[in-house]
Structure 1
Amino acid sequence: MDYLIEPSAETFSDKLLGFTLPSRGARGRMVRLDALLDTVLSAHDYPPPITHLLSEALVLAALMGGLLKGDKAQLTMQAQTQGGIVNLLVCDYRDGAVRGYADFDPERLAALGANPSLAALFGAGYLAVTFETEHGQRYQGIVPLEGDSMAEACEIYFSQSEQVPTLIRVASRAVGGKRSAAGILIQHLPDGEEGRERLHVRMDHPDWEHVAILGGSISHQELLDPALSLEAIAWRLFHEEDEIRVQEGAPLTRGCRCTLEHYASVIARFPEEEQREMCNAEGIIAIDCAFCSRVFELTL
């Protein structure tokens, strides 16, 4: 078996890892979030159920965003509901920059207990996944927010909207006040190399069944083990394959793109009368960024 990897240090956390299984027509992405996750979550004092939910969503955003090519390509994932406890959860990924935010009803959440289900949090919600290419082309899929986890909902998205057999596993935990989360995404591309048109997709293709069984054997403990590199996980899962091609992906950072200049340019598009209506008694427009919990003040 050939195990091909570009010469570099092994990947442990806050960086994507890509891999392909050429003989099986499969590709995958892996990620483990540690310091980056704490940075994103620290913007708000989220209770444990929301912290767990958002941790999973950030991993999913990194995994799906890592499928894109080009510095300007972007993945946006929104889970939304009408009347649910979680009103909105949004994460996005662009060129290694990840951000996320959740809006929820604290009182109703407290009444659910420690480990509420996805259905209890969202009710009759939906998941919208939007891919924007580096050339500005956008395509979106919307599916019911079903399953026991956000990962299952994303699998449903790929099955229904993309018709691509996909396996996703995500794990998260908190130890000593620090949270970590990790995940793996594997897809079957029956007609060969990445980027080619996908024809005659079969969800029951024998190569995909084989890959899905191996990939599905990954444990939460393995995904989260800080001493186990992502390359080592790929080896454990697929060492019997003819060839594994592993490519180091983008290092990940917190992706809040808010700046005073950005908000000034947005406000400038409004008529002067509307701008004045936005001002407080001191003549200041205060803008609260939900992603990083910073307040930007503009003076007309």
Structure 2
Amino acid sequence: MSETTETWFDQPLAFTISDRHVRGRLVRLCPVLNTIMTAHSYPPAAEKLLAEALVLTVLLGSTLKDAGSQLTLQAQTGGGPVELLVCDYKDGELRGYLKFDAERLAEVGSDPTLFALFGEGFLAITFDQAATGERYQGIVPLEGTSIGDAAEHYFEQSEQIPSLIKLSSRHDAEAGCVAGGLLLQHLPEGEVGRDRLHVRHDHPEWEHARTIAETLKGDELTDPATSLETLAWRLFHEEEVRIEPGAAISRGCRCSTGYFAGVLAKFPEAERRDMADEAGVIRIDCAFCSRIFPVPLDEISAAS
């Protein structure tokens, strides 16, 4: 592993192990994570779920190569206390929101299963490709012990890419919420495209790399004293590992009066008048940033 400036928080680290036909991502979120969290008062179980979902969103979204492409992660309930989880990543900007029934969530404890949170829910992962305008979406049941398990099922069923996902989060008295994650995927020899599951038995190096990666502990992923490069070296110190730090991550909310005016301009004028209050103002509630944006009707007319 070559010398490089070390990566600590709010920046993914991509790595490849050519001899094992493996690629991966590591990330640890803290400052940007707490900025997102402070927009709402999340109880511990909700904070843990959203934190790990945001880490997963970065791990997947940072694989997009073209500027303007977007990864959206959405989980919906099948009768559980969590009604909606949505996160997205675009050009290094991350946002997320969790809607839940507080009373019912309190009943499931501090470390609930996915089923306790969502019931018979589902996970939808959507890739919007800016260069081609194409959209790829996979929907899988919310099964397993964590949202990372559900994402592994997505890659197995929808993408047929052997994958390992590890997620962890904790609440630190000084730093606040800290969360980290690992995405490891197998690639066929000589290709940079998608692998198919039937080749797994022909590539024992994938099982070797996966077995090593599974030894990574949650405390290591969230340890602020350990750089991501150090984690990669600890895991694969016997391999030739190529690393590449990704773009810094920021809290991204596209909310503004001008943005909403442009959206509302697409509605018929009569519908806009019905939305407005007596002062001629439409008030938009942004769930992501927990703010109300007043949009006067005359500004909407100017944007149309």
Using the size of structure 1 for normalisation, the TM-score is 0.94
Q: Which has the higher contact order (CA 8 A, sep 6+)?
A: 1
| 8 Å contact kept, 2:52–2:179 | yes
Identify the structure with the greater strand proportion: 1
Structure 1 unaligned regions, length at least 5: none
CA contact (8 A) 2:120 2:142 kept: yes
Residue equivalent to 1:15 = 11
Match of 1:95 in 2: 91
1:265 correspondence with 2:262: yes
CA distance in 2, matches of 1:61, 1:272: 37
Q: How does 1:241-280 map to 2 (within 5 A)?
A: 241=239, 243-280=240-277
User: 1:164/1:285 Cα in 2 relative to 1: closer, same or farther (>3 Å)?
Assistant: same
Counterpart residue number, 2:68? 72
Report the 3-state secondary structure (helix = DSSP H, G, I; strand = E; otherwise coil) of the residue aligned with 2:247. Answer: strand
CA distance in 1, matches of 2:82, 2:26: 27
Would you say the 8 A contact 1:191–1:197 is kept in 2? no
% identical equivalent positions: 53
Task: Describe the superposition over 1:64-89 as per-residue Cα deviations: whole angstroms up to 9, x where unpaired.
Answer: 11111011111101001243211110
> CA–CA distance in 2 between the matches of 1:219 and 1:149?
15
The CA deviation at 1:112 is: 2.0
Mapped pair 1:218 → 2:222:
no
Cα deviation for residue 37 of structure 1 reads 0.6
Deviations 1:194-243 (A, max 9, x none): 3x3546753343011001011111011211111111001110000111x1
Partner of 2:235: 237
In 1, Cα distance between equivalents of 2:127 and 2:207: 27
Q: Contact 1:191–1:198 (CA<8 Å) still a contact in 2? A: no
Separation in 2 of the partners of 1:105 and 1:140? Answer: 28
Are the equivalent residues in 2 in contact too, given 1:22–1:193 (CA < 8 A)? no
Q: Is the Cα–Cα contact under 8 Å of residues 161 and 197 in structure 2 kept in the other structure?
A: no
Once the two structures are TM-superposed, the CA of residue 193 in structure 1 deviates from its matched residue by: 4.3
Runs of 4+ deviating beyond 4 Å:
none
Tell me, yes or no, if structure 1 residue 285 matches structure 2 residue 285.
no
Task: Give the distance between the partners of 2:210 and 2:130, measured in 1 at CA.
Answer: 30
Local SS of the residue matching 2:2 = strand
Q: Does the 8 Å CA contact 2:161/2:194 hold for their aligned counterparts?
A: no
Structure-2 change in CA distance of 1:76 and 1:108 (3 Å):
same
Residue 168 of structure 1 is aligned with which of 165, 182, 185?
165
Shift of 1:192: 3.2
Cα gap change, 1:283 to 1:57, in 2 (>3 Å): same
> What aligned pairs does 1:1-300 form with structure 2 within 5 A after superposition?
3-4=1-2, 7=4, 9-135=5-131, 136-176=133-173, 178-194=176-192, 196=193, 198=195, 201-204=198-201, 205-241=203-239, 243-300=240-297
RMSD: 1.4
Q: Would you say the 8 A contact 1:20–1:245 is kept in 2?
A: yes
Is the contact made by 1:69 and 1:134 (CA closer than 8 Å) also made in structure 2? no
Query: 1:203 corresponds to which letter in structure 2?
Result: R
Distance, in Å, in 2 between the alignment partners of 1:82 and 1:221 is 31
Deviation at 1:187, TM superposition (A): 0.1
Deviation readout 1:159-207 (Å, 9 max, x if unpaired) = 111000000111100011611000010000113343x354675334301
**Which amino acid in structure 2 is aligned with residue 191 of structure 1?**
E
**Take 2:76 and 2:281, find their aligned partners in 1: how far apart are those partners?**
32
Deviation by residue 1:114-149 (Cα, 9 ceiling, x = unmatched): 222210110000000001112221110001110010
Taking structure 1 as reference, are residues 159 and 200 closer, same or farther at Cα in structure 2, changes over 3 Å only?
A: closer
Q: Is the 8 A contact 2:212 2:235 kept in 1?
A: yes
* Count of matched residue positions in the alignment of Structure 1 and Structure 2: 294
Contact 2:50 2:85 in 1 (8 A): yes
